[in-house]
Structure 1
Amino acid sequence: MRYGEATVTVVDPRSYMTYQPFLPEVAAGSISPRHVVVPLRRVLPKAEVLTGRVTSIDQDRKVAVVTPLVGEAYELPFDYLVIALGAVSRTFPIPGLAEQGIGMKGVEEGIGLRNHVLEQLDKAESTTDEDVRRKALTFVFVGGGFAGAETIGEVEDMARDAAKYYSTIKREDMRFILVDAADKILPEVGPKLGTWGKEHLESRGIEIYLSTSMDSCVDGHVVLKNGLEVDSNTIVWTAGVKPNPVLARYGLPLGPRGHVDAQPTLQVTGTDYIWTAGDNAQVPDMAARKAGVENAWCPPNAQHALRQAKVLGDNVISGMRGFPQTEYSHSNKGAVAGLGLHKGVAMIVMGKTKIKLKGRLAWYMHRGYHGMAMPTWNRKIRVFADWTLAMFLKREVVSLGALETPREEFYEAAKPAPAPAAAAAPAEKAKAS
């Protein structure tokens, strides 16, 4: 755009963008959490960044109601609107899940999971109660897609390394369980690589239960549909995602699963001034449809979101200037997944040829692809620096669980002391008289 032609305003409850494919490595301590987030104000110097939430949209008046972190809500007028809220964890009304579950959608959850797992090892080391130890050393992961398989692979790797520093804990004392309602894991890389991934995880002592689900997890007592019952302090929920529920308040046309209904141009159906992209959008997969696949939609992954963003940006400017819109079309390039240090699976699509890789080479493909896809050279360099240092330095196994309550120790030191018994006695006598 020309200088002064438009004002771009970004409204987000967080002041940074998270590159979610790296969250499993954050949970394992392979990458510093600060290096997988991109500060919006730094990378968008010409945009106005507002930290808050858009709670409603009035399309007739073209205003959005913004609720900031502090203060009263206010109206923000617009001429053109982009809806890119992403997705949230897809959950079910399972007893105990809200209280016990740990998600994997944000960097905070990745940091929290790492600290939590290491804290469980500390607990197990500090007690002789076998029931307490068993519950602390049992880790349950629900969901066998990319997020679930990658997270359990990375966390098991970290826990195996950390156990070397505990005198009373061995890898054999830990129990890792992966549960999925489908009959396979890693469906994104195809049945053969998915089967190899399952066998690989099982060879590392990870129990995998397919075609089953979790019925309840009240107080950490996990009950599976297949009858298995275990006690666990760690229940990680990675069973898919759904569009942000707030979309239902915007008055936009939604698909059957709550996504914003979009045209191939990424314009919201029925409008000429609203666009959408990413995980909250239902975008026709034109490449698949041209190949004969009916009713194909773009899957919610980084491969499509990054490319949709570029087309969307061009189309917004075209809409401002009255130029025709460009349809989004992208042929699937494959998928890569890391299952821990030096372990992974990859399916590379080149035309009609599919190249399937597993093991160390696939792991290099995984790191190479996502390392280059990471936004900004600043973050790319930091991520590759983390990986390079890890080749020469041992993995950190420090739990910083106190980060969740950083003021607790200060509060204990600063809270008012209770009144001495001698001083309290006269007051009680006066009250009695």
Structure 2
Amino acid sequence: MARASTPRILVIGGGYVGMYTALRLQRKLKRGEAEIVVVEPQPYMTYQPFLPEAAAGSISPRHVVVPLRRVLAGCRIVAGEARAVDHAERRATVATLATKEGGGNDLEIPYDHLVLAPGSVSRTLPVPGLADHGIGFRTVEEAIGLRNHVLEQLDIASSTRDAEVREAALTFVVVGGGYAGVEALAELENMARYAVRYYHNVAEDDLRWVLVEASDHILPEVGEELGRYALRELRGRNVDIRLQTRLASCEGRIATLSDGDRLPTRTLVWTAGVRPAPLLAGTGLPVTGRGRLRTAATLLVEGTDCVWAAGDAAAVPDLTADPPGAECAPNAQHAVRQSRVLADNLVATLRGRPLTDYRHASAGSVASLGLHKGVAYIHGRAVKGYPAWVVHRLYHLGRMPTLNRKARVLAEWILAGLFKREIVSLGSLEHPRAEFELAAGPGGEPDRS
């Protein structure tokens, strides 16, 4: 890719920080003032707070993603993965889809300003069997795959006479008691409990949901009071919550816990935290012990004048903390707000103006506990139950990018309130060519003699 005559801003990552930064830049920059290039493996941004509802079937999966080419019409979108950054040469190496298909070499993209927002990846531990049997919950593909998988387990349990297979099919283990784990479990448990009414030989009491959390509480993001309420609410729905417990192994489809319990299960969902993208470690830029870029309050990476970072990738000082010295939590609320300051400061740099520091006033925290249930801590007030569920939906609807997506999500909520849930498993979508390959393989051609 040839070097542009105008300054080039290279944005690595199309998530919260990458998309919102590029969106604000294309709105604030004048024509020809700078070229914006966005590198992202998937040509869309996933609004992750809606993944649990997509998994439960309340929202169509295509409505929880935002197409980057449509939203960022003033940017150049490169569908690829940044493999390396050479800041000394101000150049990034990108593997595109064509590269992966053997259609060319990696792209070398020079830049004048670099925005590092590659996000994070699942933080896994060396648990035996985890790579073979674990299911993640960070992408829309994983969310829909998990929905299909849960419904398939109900079909397996309904059709088998083997008691051990049935027990394993109806036991669902979720590891991690933060937002992702609790919301995924709550929505899927809600969906499964509704679905069993259509199975003549599976009852609600046959389902076993287990939440495994290493600490002594769940949902630390919403505070102790609401965390305890969420604990009581889930246990009231017969969810088995194991606090101060770790997953020791899941070999042979048996979840072995640190308390010695062994749970035969065909479903193990891993949501036990995230870590910064591996790309950051090889950039040569300063990182913390946790692998996040050391960033000033202006969102410039320390020791540089043209590399910016925010969100999961950055250790941004929290100027509102008391006592000082804390870092901003790597969550969506900070990522969206930081992206605005980052874009404004980048524009100010191009125009020779002073930079501003990132400061925030927390709006609170919200979490869904399934249909019509939730917890919320808004401006110092704790809200529980149905009102909190409404607040949760309104909060995230307001932050969903684009009016188009807002309208579609709202329409689906209205339709979901008027009609019954869909309980169809479309697991075959994960292998769309399987039937054709079977037909076209040896013995698949019909006899025409």
Normalising TM by the smaller chain, what interval?
over 0.9
Q: Specify the SS of the correspondent of 2:217.
A: coil
| 2:152 aligned partner, one-letter code | E
Cα distance between partner residues in 2 of 1:156 and 1:61:
51
Cα distance between partner residues in 2 of 1:404 and 1:203:
35
Describe how 1:191-206 pairs up with structure 2 within 5 A: 191-206=224-239
Q: Specify the SS of the correspondent of 1:94.
A: coil
- Whether 1:358 aligns to 2:384 is yes
- Whether 1:12 aligns to 2:45 is no
- Whether 1:109 aligns to 2:137 is no
Runs (5+) with no aligned partner, structure 2: 1-28, 100-104
Q: Specify the SS of the correspondent of 2:320.
A: helix
Q: State the shift of 1:416 in Å.
A: 3.4
Cα distance between partner residues in 2 of 1:191 and 1:57:
42
- Whether 1:153 aligns to 2:179 is no
The match for 1:278 is 311
- Whether 1:307 aligns to 2:333 is no
Match of 2:93 among 31, 51, 65: 65
The match for 1:385 is 411
Q: State the shift of 1:294 in Å.
A: 2.7
The match for 1:51 is 79
Give the aligned CA root-mean-square deviation in angstroms.
1.2
Describe how 1:202-241 pairs up with structure 2 within 5 A: 202-241=235-274
Cα distance between partner residues in 1 of 2:277 and 2:89:
24
* C-alpha distance 418-117 of structure 1, shift in aligned 2 (>3 A): closer
Deviation track 1:364-413 (CA, whole Å, cap 9, x = no partner) reads 00000001100111111111111111110111000000011110001111
Q: Is the 8 A contact 2:438 2:444 kept in 1?
A: no
Cα distance between partner residues in 2 of 1:98 and 1:416:
32
Q: State the shift of 1:76 in Å.
A: 0.6
Cα distance between partner residues in 2 of 1:68 and 1:141:
34
The match for 2:56 is 28
| 1:310 aligned partner, one-letter code | R
* C-alpha distance 43-418 of structure 1, shift in aligned 2 (>3 A): closer
Q: State the shift of 1:74 in Å.
A: 2.1
Cα distance between partner residues in 1 of 2:284 and 2:79:
23
Q: State the shift of 1:419 in Å.
A: 11
Cα distance between partner residues in 2 of 1:316 and 1:418:
60
Q: Is the 8 A contact 1:214 1:225 kept in 2?
A: yes
Q: Is the 8 A contact 1:139 1:233 kept in 2?
A: yes
Q: Is the 8 A contact 1:149 1:186 kept in 2?
A: yes
Q: Specify the SS of the correspondent of 1:256.
A: coil
The match for 1:141 is 174
Q: Is the 8 A contact 2:439 2:445 kept in 1?
A: no
The match for 1:426 is none
Between structure 1 and structure 2, the one with the greater Rg is: 1
Q: State the shift of 1:61 in Å.
A: 1.6
Q: State the shift of 1:418 in Å.
A: 8.3
Cα distance between partner residues in 2 of 1:249 and 1:405:
35
Q: Specify the SS of the correspondent of 1:9.
A: strand
Q: State the shift of 1:251 in Å.
A: 1.4
The match for 1:298 is 328
Q: Specify the SS of the correspondent of 1:197.
A: helix
| 1:10 aligned partner, one-letter code | V
Q: Specify the SS of the correspondent of 2:181.
A: helix
| 1:55 aligned partner, one-letter code | R
* C-alpha distance 270-379 of structure 1, shift in aligned 2 (>3 A): same
Cα distance between partner residues in 2 of 1:36 and 1:113:
16
Q: Is the 8 A contact 1:55 1:249 kept in 2?
A: no
Q: State the shift of 1:417 in Å.
A: 2.6
Q: Specify the SS of the correspondent of 2:256.
A: strand
Cα distance between partner residues in 1 of 2:348 and 2:173:
49
Cα distance between partner residues in 2 of 1:52 and 1:251:
21
- Whether 1:246 aligns to 2:243 is no
- Whether 1:317 aligns to 2:317 is no
Cα distance between partner residues in 2 of 1:295 and 1:236:
35
Q: Specify the SS of the correspondent of 2:165.
A: helix
Cα distance between partner residues in 2 of 1:224 and 1:136:
18
* C-alpha distance 126-275 of structure 1, shift in aligned 2 (>3 A): same
Q: State the shift of 1:180 in Å.
A: 0.2
* C-alpha distance 418-103 of structure 1, shift in aligned 2 (>3 A): closer
Match of 2:396 among 370, 382, 386: 370
Q: Which moved more, 1:51-60 or 1:397-406?
A: 51-60
Q: Specify the SS of the correspondent of 1:8.
A: strand
Cα distance between partner residues in 1 of 2:187 and 2:43:
27
* Displacement over 6 Å in runs of 4+: none
* C-alpha distance 419-359 of structure 1, shift in aligned 2 (>3 A): closer
| 2:60 aligned partner, one-letter code | S
Cα distance between partner residues in 2 of 1:191 and 1:36:
30
Describe how 1:58-97 pairs up with structure 2 within 5 A: 58-71=86-99, 72-97=105-130
Deviation track 1:343-372 (CA, whole Å, cap 9, x = no partner) reads 0000012xxxx1001100000000000011
Q: State the shift of 1:333 in Å.
A: 1.5
- Report the TM-score, using the length of structure 1 for normalisation: 0.94
The match for 1:424 is none
Q: Specify the SS of the correspondent of 2:82.
A: strand
Runs (5+) with no aligned partner, structure 1: 421-433
Q: What is the total number of aligned residue pairs between the two structures?
A: 413
- Report the TM-score, using the length of structure 2 for normalisation: 0.91
Q: State the shift of 1:246 in Å.
A: 1.7
Q: Is the 8 A contact 2:318 2:324 kept in 1?
A: no
Match of 1:408 among 417, 420, 434: 434
Q: Is the 8 A contact 1:266 1:277 kept in 2?
A: yes
Cα distance between partner residues in 1 of 2:225 and 2:91:
50
